[in-house]
Amino acid sequence: MREHWLLPDSPYRSYDAYLDAVGSRAVEVARGRPAAQLLEEIKKSGLRGRGGAGFPTGTKWATLANHPCRIRDAVVNAAEGEPGTFKDRWLLRYNPYAVLEGLLIAAHVIGARGLYVGVKASSTTEIARLTKAIEELAAAGVLAGSEIRVVPGPEEYLFGEEKALLEVIEGNEPLPREPHYPPYEKGLFATPFSPNPALVNNAETFAHIPSIVARGGESFRRLGTANTSGTCLYTISGDVLRPGVYEREAGVTLRELVHDAAGGPREGRQVKAILSGVAAPVITPSRLDTPADFASMEMAGSALGSAGFIVFDDSRSMPRLAQAVARFLYVESCNQCTACKHGLRTASEALDGIFGAPTSRADDYLRALYGARSAPQANRCYLPVEGAALIPSLLETFEQEFGTPHGHLASSSEPILIAQICDFDAERGVFLVDQRQARKQPDWSYAEEPRPSAIRVVSTPRDVDRAPVVVRLSSDLVPLLSERARSAGRTLDVLVNDAMREWLEQAAERGDRD
């Protein structure tokens, strides 16, 4: 295993296999050194948080270590709900040991009492992997009496927001606390007399700690760029030939990630737009040579975020993309701050209106723009800030696709689904995106799945190998099947011949939906 790299070629089979590969016992090394010295080493490494904001890890740890309240906890954020990101779950599948060692080192440095890993209840593979790894660490005597609790959480995007994550650990809904209560000031099970500050770091951030402790901050800094040291776990998904999680030195260019690592778009297609999760302005192909590090991405007018890039090729409609992003953020907003839910609803409904929804008005384009921009006011968290950055960037960058003057668009272009990645299908080499998001309502309930009521075989030729089978579908089934086919990487051809067309027209006149 190369120094400071996190992902082995195949998942570590045991803690011993991990120790053999990395060649050091970082937790033991850390416990033999004073906390202040370790803090200096982490600061020297230049490590920045991999959860999205890129906050300097050494500074965050020092705040906790110096906090007047002696009751402190440490929390791994493995909620991973950003659309287009799968790196934390990949890391937990391949190398849960580095994450857990990082957590144990944090416990030593900040003097933490409770240790937690927040992970979605639906991430069953990762929970099983973590549970076994914790048992192994206990058997190896590395826990030294401390207990690591794995806390299964809900599906919501906000579960990963750090103040909401603490709420979930306390047994509540994933609703962000007020902004003046950051985790390093008010942590877990606080009382008026004891704020119990908590250290919350992303899973990948923790995973970088053991090698920094074992090999030194200077050595870590030699990888990556001046503003983003070390390696980075990049998730590349969408319209590319080889979607996946790729570990590269921070600062590799977007072109190397999209074209070299992920194979670029399908033959005959070109990259049209790239999203950095749903958290930053859209990236256009002219920016493909931007190094994927925190500062360069900002200079290019976007952000690195959690290094999850979703690629869209030139077959995609950008108004449809804006519609999907607005819908996702509107639905996921928790409605604690009025402007957030209201502004994102305005943007979402206006973009639906552009495609002829009953909410349609003449000024839909402008309502979408101003709705999104008005969302971040008195906001408890950054979700509306993300919407205010990304939605207008799509509207403005691709304004010509909205027509001149801004008009209403035919609803025939294929809708896009923006949702969390729920798994990686290794056999087909594709990410599976949570299809249930299409039915999720702004109150976080789910609309009933449209029932595919009518699939009736109307003619079955004897030799099915040579002739097509003709089936009659209910009209609401066609978009559903098209979406399923698309997510499976296939194309669904709906053929309507003359006889069928005549029959359909008669059926429509009769009001028959089958």
Judged by the rule CB under 6 A, the positions of this chain that interact with ligand SF4 are: 158, 176, 333-337, 340-341, 379-381, 383-384
* Contact of residue 202 among ligand SF4, ligand FMN, none (CB under 5-8 Å per partner type): ligand FMN
Residue 502 CA to residue 187 CA, distance in Å, equals 66
**74 is an interface residue for ligand FMN by CB under 6 A:** no
**77 is an interface residue for ligand FMN by CB under 6 A:** yes
Q: How far is the CB of 396 from ligand SF4 (least distance, A)?
A: 23
Q: Is the dihedral of CA 253, 55, 423, 382 positive or negative?
A: negative
| Residue (80 or 239) nearer to ligand FMN, CB | 80
Q: How far is the CB of 332 from ligand SF4 (least distance, A)?
A: 7
Residue 54 CA to residue 229 CA, distance in Å, equals 11
Give the 3-state DSSP-derived string for 117-174, with helices as H, strands as E and coil as C.
EEEECCCHHHHHHHHHHHHHHHHCCCCCCCCEEEEEECCCHHHHCHHHHHHHHCCCCC
Give the 3-state DSSP-derived string for 45-79, with helices as H, strands as E and coil as C.
HCCECCCCCCCEHHHHHHHHHCCCCCCEEEEEEEC
Q: Which stretch binds ligand FMN (CB under 6 A): 75-83, 207-215, 225-233, 292-300?
A: 75-83
**49 is an interface residue for ligand FMN by CB under 6 A:** yes
Pairing label, strands 470-473, 455-459: antiparallel
* Contact of residue 53 among ligand SF4, ligand FMN, none (CB under 5-8 Å per partner type): ligand FMN
| Residue (161 or 364) nearer to ligand FMN, CB | 161
**55 is an interface residue for ligand FMN by CB under 6 A:** yes
**52 is an interface residue for ligand FMN by CB under 6 A:** yes
| Residue (158 or 209) nearer to ligand SF4, CB | 158
**437 is an interface residue for ligand FMN by CB under 6 A:** no
Q: What tokens does 447 get?
A: 């609309």
Q: Which residues contact 54 (CB under 8 A, 6 or more apart)?
A: 48, 228, 294, 304
First-to-final CA distance of the chain: 59
Q: How far is the CB of 49 from ligand FMN (least distance, A)?
A: 2
- With beta carbons less than 8 A apart as the criterion, state whether 280 and 309 touch: no
Coil, strand or helix at 310: strand
Calculate the alpha carbon distances from 30 to 24, 26, 35, 71 in Å.
Answer: 11, 6, 8, 21
| Residue (399 or 423) nearer to ligand FMN, CB | 423
Within 344-383, which residues bind ligand FMN (CB under 6 A)? Answer: 381-383
* Contact of residue 51 among ligand FMN, ligand SF4, none (CB under 5-8 Å per partner type): ligand FMN
**117 is an interface residue for ligand FMN by CB under 6 A:** no
Residue 299 CA to residue 285 CA, distance in Å, equals 15
| Residue (47 or 388) nearer to ligand SF4, CB | 388
What amino acid occupies position 269?
R
Within 195-214, which residues bind ligand FMN (CB under 6 A)? Answer: 200-202, 205
Question: Could you tell me where the DSSP H helices lie in 415-510?
Answer: 477-487, 498-510
Q: How far is the CB of 409 from ligand FMN (least distance, A)?
A: 29
Q: How far is the CB of 238 from ligand SF4 (least distance, A)?
A: 25
Per DSSP, what are the bridge partners of residue 273? 312
Q: How far is the CB of 205 from ligand FMN (least distance, A)?
A: 3
Residue 362 CA to residue 341 CA, distance in Å, equals 22
Q: How far is the CB of 120 from ligand FMN (least distance, A)?
A: 9
| Residue (106 or 279) nearer to ligand SF4, CB | 279
Q: How far is the CB of 201 from ligand FMN (least distance, A)?
A: 4
Q: Which of 46, 58, 81, 195 binds ligand FMN (CB under 6 A)?
A: 81
| Residue (283 or 381) nearer to ligand FMN, CB | 381
Q: Is the dihedral of CA 289, 295, 301, 306 positive or negative?
A: positive
Q: Which residues contact 256 (CB under 8 A, 6 or more apart)?
A: 248
Q: How far is the CB of 189 from ligand SF4 (least distance, A)?
A: 21
Instruction: Give how many residues touch ligand FMN by CB under 6 A.
Output: 23
| Residue (84 or 353) nearer to ligand FMN, CB | 84
- With beta carbons less than 8 A apart as the criterion, state whether 381 and 163 touch: yes
Residue 123 CA to residue 351 CA, distance in Å, equals 32
**65 is an interface residue for ligand FMN by CB under 6 A:** no
C-alpha count within 13 angstroms, C-beta hemisphere, residue 301? 14
* Contact of residue 333 among ligand SF4, ligand FMN, none (CB under 5-8 Å per partner type): ligand SF4
Within 142-161, which residues bind ligand FMN (CB under 6 A)? Answer: 157-158, 160-161
| Residue (349 or 386) nearer to ligand FMN, CB | 386
- With beta carbons less than 8 A apart as the criterion, state whether 337 and 402 touch: no
The Cβ of residue 496 has, within 10 Å, a number of other Cβ atoms equal to 10
* Contact of residue 380 among ligand FMN, ligand SF4, none (CB under 5-8 Å per partner type): ligand SF4
Q: Which of 12, 41, 65, 80 binds ligand FMN (CB under 6 A)?
A: 80
* Contact of residue 334 among ligand SF4, ligand FMN, none (CB under 5-8 Å per partner type): ligand SF4
What is the contact surface with ligand FMN in residues (CB under 6 A)?
49-53, 55, 77, 79-82, 157-158, 160-162, 200-202, 205, 381-383
